Structures are given as C-alpha cells and as structure tokens.
Amino acid sequence: MGSFIDLTASDGANFPAYVCKPQGAPRGALVVLQEIFGVNAHIRSVADRWAERGYLVVAPATFARLQKDVDLGYGADDVKAGAALKAQAEALPGAGVLTDVQAAIDYAARESGGKKVGIMGFCWGGLLAWRAAGQLSGLSAAVPYYGGGMTTEKEIARTPKVPVMAHFGDRDAHIPVASVKALEQAHPDIQVFLYAADHGFNCDQRGSYDAAAAKLADERTQAFFAQHVG
C-alpha cells in the first residue's frame, strides 16, 4: 500500500520515510516511529494497517543520519546492530533525530490537508514519541508503546503538551513496573496501561508477541486517536 519518499529536515538533512495514504480523504494523519530495527516489515505493516483505517501515515527512517536503508530482523545480531545505532542516534548533538520527526509531522499535516496529526512509536520509537509530545509542534496526541527509557527519572520530568496514552508489559525486563508506576504517579493525566506481556508484545514477528495484549492495546489506541486526531 505504501512507498518510500524523501523528506528534508529543517537543517537540510535528507531522509526516507514510508508513506501510506488511505482511500479517499484522510480522517487524520499519523507519524509512526520505528524500533531499533529500522522501518522494517513490522513498522510498514503498522503503517499499512492505520492507512486502511483512514489515516495518512508517515514512518520516518530515524537512523538515516547514521546509516541508510536499515531494515533489521529480531535475531541476536540484529538486536546488537540496532542497539549500536540507537546509541549513536542518542548521542547526536542538538535535537538529533527529533528534527527528522518534526519534518515528518509537518509533511503529514500538509499531505492530509491540514488534518490533526498523532504520533505513535515502539520501543525506541516510543521514547521518541514521548519526547515529541513535549518538545515538537503540530501534534494532537501521542501513543508510546513500551518506550524504552521513557520511565527514567530524566524522561518522567518532561511535560507533554498533548494527550498521551502509554502501553507497557509487566514482564518487560527493560522497563521495570515500578518505573511505570512512577510515570503514572508523576503524570496522572496520562493514560498508562500495563499488560500481562513482555517487551515487544505488539510485534507479530517477535517471540514476545502477545495477541491478546496487542489486540487490547490496539483497540484502546484506535479509540484514543479517534477522539484526539479524527
């Protein structure tokens, strides 16, 4: 359904983004942020599914400043390669890859004819979606899925400017339940959900996939975006 296009950030950096357009006029727009595995088959399938629901969807390649055409699987070597790229991305000066996320938001707003824009992300993309909710412009809602690092003290201190719904697994070794509770207590206006699941429970290409948790989180996310985006 979708295809890759090239976008340009405000600092002149070029990067690809996977774009899916719905049949007919879009009800709204969404930016989908990748895990540490690139805009791979899973992220493209998420974008396709939301386009089928009537949204114009943009999935920017947030590793493009470091390495082009990153498309990893979920084996041990893939995890190692993705983690190394994430570490480099987090070390970029200034706003780093959030500059590219802002360009994706701006593009989504333009291409949808000025519709509201929501953002969602998975793992590292969940962390970026959380940061975007407080730092970037043009958003109406944000949904981080198991945002790695977003429950640290530094990240909890951020203040989102738009409504946020966050999904976590209670068996996620990377994100302790106590830290999720700390996020919830610090931000009582955020909708925080814990599932009996592991990290990556939404991805049907991973061993940690949990169909029941993925379905419930998806239903809640659909209702949330319907309310805040369109």
Question: What residues are annotated to the active site?
Answer: 123, 172, 199
Contact 184, 177 (CB under 8 A): no
Which residue in this structure is represented by tokens 């946020």?
164
In the chain the first and final C-alpha atoms are separated, in Å, by: 21
Rounded Cα distance between 228 and 27, Å, is 11
The pairing of strands 3-8 and 14-20 is antiparallel
Which residue in this structure is represented by tokens 């498309």?
71
Cα-based angle 77, 171, 167 (whole degrees, multiple of 5):
95
Contact 187, 212 (CB under 8 A): no
3-state class (DSSP) for residue 31: strand
Q: What's the alpha-carbon Rg for the chain, to the nearest Å?
A: 16
- Length of the chain in terms of residues written: 230
Give me the residues paired with residue 18 across strands.
4, 59
**Nearest residue to 199 (alpha-carbon basis) of 125, 146, 143:** 146
